[in-house]
Amino acid sequence: MKNQLKSGLALIGVTATIFVGPLAAAQAVSPAPPESLPAPIPRTSGAIATYTLVVPTSVSKSKLQTRAVIPYGSHCPKLTTLRPNGATKKTKMKLRSPGASTGAAFASIRVCSANIPRYSQAASVGRVKVPFKLASKIDKIALLADTGCRIKVSRSQNCSSPTDWPLATVAKSIAATKPDLAMMLGDFFYREERCPDSAVDQCGGSPAPLNGAPFKDSGYGWIADSLVPMAPLFATTPLLAVRGNHEACHRGGNGYFLLMDASPLGSKACAPKDGVAPTNITPSWAVDLPLKPGRTLRAISVDTAYGLDFEVTPWEPTQATAYTQAAKLAKRKKGRESWMLTHRPIFGLQSTDFAAGDPKFTPWGSADQEAAAQGKLGNFSAIMSSHVHVTQAVQLPGYPAQFVIGNGGTELEPPTGYGIPPYGPLLDGQGNRISPDFAPYPNANWQWTRVQFGFVVATPGKKPGQWTLSQRSPNGKAFATCSLKDRTARCK
């Protein structure tokens, strides 16, 4: 093989050699047998990465499913669990494959999956321990999102700098706080362009998207953007994953459905058909998290991979089906409070520095979500979102508190330009309706925004609906505290 090139994947802890000659030949998307980069060297488990996802009980009675990422061609390992009586149980993990039409992009890896049996006392894949239970009394939830390293030909984040891209530090700090679970609110994948020649010191070796493919991600891209930096979190903490717009099928969706999703759509949900990436939406789903006897948090995930932020589009009726499902799941029940987990905020505020004199500009987003969710938020106490790369809380009178936690590592938004606009969501800068079909919301009466990297640790308060949200920097230091009470947020 010619043009052998030592890969900068060393920076992500993976030793590999890239053969650029044959890769160029393999860049057409084809259903032919996988033939691509050699897989990274697995750990002692025989897997490249292991982690445990929080999934609905319809998928796993324990609400947990373990995944192992393996090199293509090797066999799925067994999941070993310890029963309460001390006996061990070995479960064969099932193979999850990417769609054949993803061709060389995912040729190097496969994913294996097995449900954790209820009442397990320990679990491991090979010799690697994996998270095996959800606490019966949950008292600490980590939230993070927008974690990938943004690579653009025009300007790239420095993926080799822990201050410019602090995801690995964030993951380590989350693991150190020992939360009962982590909620990842979407936008895992940002390696959507070739590393610019001017920035090889910053992102050298970052896997480029496959030429000509109708999507942007790859197995190696996910290894670099998520699996390696998040490893400390994966080792300790069950992960509830939400799909972001960067996981739309024309972007990072193939990896999302292969690695992170447990919905009925399956691992091939984003496989291109006739060279075109599909557009799809996962059904809304819920998981109950017991907080103490008589008090439960129901976390309801809504897929907002599609839609637009500043206009109401023909996608809105499809998006509305997901909010109708979510509203049913949030039906009031004594002792139960509901959070909506949705990547695009319903009431998020963008910096007005984006306006650049555009009379149609509105800082409110996301417009398709504002329209689609109308009349369906009455039973929620909070909306947990990300998408805007800040940490923020916004309060509309009579509506659930909106938190935006989009500061997990991706390049941050402009540092200034946040405040309560003169008009509410679904109005534009001239005070006109964005869409004649949807009434505007009342304006916010309070907002709080900080533009700095970090994550959130949420702990339940004494009374139903009460929470404290500690805003942490990447190294885990608290820099602000928010409260949630009676569907109302305050931060200081």
The answer to whether residue 304 forms part of the interface with Fe ion (CB under 5 A) is no
Q: In this chain, which of 112, 167, 187, 408 binds Fe ion, going by CB under 5 A?
A: 187
Cβ at position 245, least distance to Fe ion in Å: 4
**Interface segment toward Fe ion; rule CB under 5 A; list 8-16, 104-112, 386-394, 468-476:** 386-394
The answer to whether residue 368 forms part of the interface with Fe ion (CB under 5 A) is no
The answer to whether residue 413 forms part of the interface with Fe ion (CB under 5 A) is no
Residue whose CB is less far from Fe ion, 246 or 472: 246
Cβ at position 167, least distance to Fe ion in Å: 13
Residue whose CB is less far from Fe ion, 144 or 482: 144
Cβ at position 25, least distance to Fe ion in Å: 34
The answer to whether residue 284 forms part of the interface with Fe ion (CB under 5 A) is no
The answer to whether residue 96 forms part of the interface with Fe ion (CB under 5 A) is no
Q: In this chain, which of 78, 387, 472, 487 binds Fe ion, going by CB under 5 A?
A: 387
Cβ at position 187, least distance to Fe ion in Å: 4
Residue whose CB is less far from Fe ion, 114 or 412: 412
Residue whose CB is less far from Fe ion, 16 or 371: 371
Residue whose CB is less far from Fe ion, 63 or 150: 150
Which of 59, 9, 404 has the alpha carbon at shortest distance from 263? 59
The answer to whether residue 244 forms part of the interface with Fe ion (CB under 5 A) is yes
Cβ at position 147, least distance to Fe ion in Å: 9
Residue whose CB is less far from Fe ion, 146 or 225: 146
Residue whose CB is less far from Fe ion, 172 or 344: 344
Number of residues that bind Fe ion (CB under 5 A): 5
Q: What is the 3-state secondary structure (H, E, C) of the chain?
A: CCCEEECHHHHHCCCCEEEHHHHHHCCCCCCCCCCCCCCCCCCCCCCCEEEEEECCCCCCCCCEEEEEEEECCCCCCEEEEECCCCCEEEEECEEECCCHHHHHHHCCEEEEEEECCCCCCEEEECCEECCCCCCCCCCCEEEECCCCCCCCCCCCCCCCCCCCCCHHHHHHHHHHHCCCEEEECCCCCCCCCCCCHHHHHHHCCCCCCCCCCCCCCCHHHHHHHHHCCCHHHHHHCCEEECCCHHHCCCCCHHHHHHHCCCCCCCCCCCCCECCECCCCCCCCEEEEEEEECCEEEEEEEECCCCCCCCCCCCCHHHHHHHHHHHHHHCCCCCCEEEEEEECCCCCEECCHHHCCCCCCCCCEECHHHHHHCCCCCCCCCEEEECCCCCEEEEECCCCCEEEEECCCCCCCCCCCCCCCCCCCCCECCCCCECCCCCCCCCCCCEEEEECCCCEEEEEECCCCCCEEEEEECCCCCEEEEEEEECCEEEEC
Residue whose CB is less far from Fe ion, 60 or 342: 342
Cβ at position 317, least distance to Fe ion in Å: 22
**Interface segment toward Fe ion; rule CB under 5 A; list 30-38, 45-53, 182-190, 214-222:** 182-190
**Interface segment toward Fe ion; rule CB under 5 A; list 93-101, 108-116, 238-246, 279-287:** 238-246
The answer to whether residue 245 forms part of the interface with Fe ion (CB under 5 A) is yes
Cβ at position 387, least distance to Fe ion in Å: 4
The answer to whether residue 146 forms part of the interface with Fe ion (CB under 5 A) is yes
Residue whose CB is less far from Fe ion, 36 or 449: 449
Q: Which residues bind Fe ion (CB under 5 A)?
A: 146, 187, 244-245, 387
